Structure formats: C-alpha cells, structure tokens
C-alpha cells in the first residue's frame, strides 16, 4: 500500500470518526433540550393548577420569571445544551413551587379552622399534577 493511499484511508477514517462524534453530541443536546422543555411544561401546568386552588399568583410570578430568564437557550444542536441541561433550574423551581403550595394550603387550613374565608383548603392532592 502506497503512502498516499494510507494517508487517504486515514483521512477517511478520521472524517468518519469526527462525523460520528459530532452526531453523538447533537443527539445529546437534542435529548437534553427535549427533557428540559417537558419539565418546564410540567411546571407551567402545576403553576396554573396551584393558582386555581389558592396559591397566590404573586407567589408564582417570580418563579415564572426565573424560568423565562434562566432557561438554557439555543437550537437543539447548540453547544449550550451540552454544558447546561437546565435540570438544576427545574429542581430549584420545583422545590420553590412546593414551598409556595404548602404555605398557601397551610394558610387556607388555618383560615378555615378559624371560620374565616377560605377557598379549597386542601384538594387532597388529587388535582395537583407531577
């Protein structure tokens, strides 16, 4: 085998490896973006439900703003998705959402126990999505 032929063969192998590697990274980015978007949609549904059962919209507004401001951006193939899948943001917002819900339900239960005005003091968890 001539040296020129060896170089061509090596170049083809190297190009194939490069294409396979880049395709793998794009697939990872695509999967991470899809997972993030699904989690963000779940949070949006939870917030809508929680407001309907008595959590103040003012308690949810900063969470919505944080999601909008801090979510990873870029197309599915973007390197932004390789470095930051957004899961820590979703986890933080989920914890804050649970705290807001618990505080609102505790307040409504206390008001109901005192005979004060209250909406649905507890939906029994039946309507809360997650």
pLDDT at 115: 84
Per-residue pLDDT band for 33 (boundaries 50, 70, 90) equals confident
Mean pLDDT score across all residues of the chain? 79
74-75-81 Cα angle (round to 5): 65
Lowest-confidence range among 26-30, 33-37, 97-101, 106-110? 26-30
Q: How many CA atoms lie within 13 A of 85 on its CB side?
A: 14
* Tokens standing for residue 120: 């649905």
Contact 50, 108 (CB under 8 A): no
pLDDT confidence of residue 93: 98
Domain boundaries, the chain: 3-113
Q: What per-residue confidence (pLDDT) applies to 126? A: 45
User: For residue 88, what pLDDT is reported?
Assistant: 94
Residue of higher predicted confidence among 1 and 119: 1
10 Å Cβ neighbour count for 98? 14
Question: In 10 A of CB 52, how many CB atoms?
Answer: 12
């Amino acid at each position: 085998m001539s040296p020129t032929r060896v170089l061509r063969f090596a170049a083809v192998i190297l190009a194939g490896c490069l294409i396979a590697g880049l395709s793998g990274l794009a697939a990872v980015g695509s999967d991470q973006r899809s997972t993030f978007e699904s989690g963000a949609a779940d949070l949006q549904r939870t917030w809508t439900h929680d407001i309907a059962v008595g959590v103040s919209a003012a308690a949810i507004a900063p969470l919505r703003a944080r999601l909008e401001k801090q979510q990873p951006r870029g197309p599915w193939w973007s390197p932004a998705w390789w470095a930051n899948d957004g899961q820590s943001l979703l986890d933080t917002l989920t914890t804050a959402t649970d705290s807001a819900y618990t505080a609102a339900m505790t307040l409504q239960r206390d008001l109901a126990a005192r005979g004060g005005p209250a909406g649905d003091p507890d939906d029994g968890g039946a309507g809360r999505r997650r």
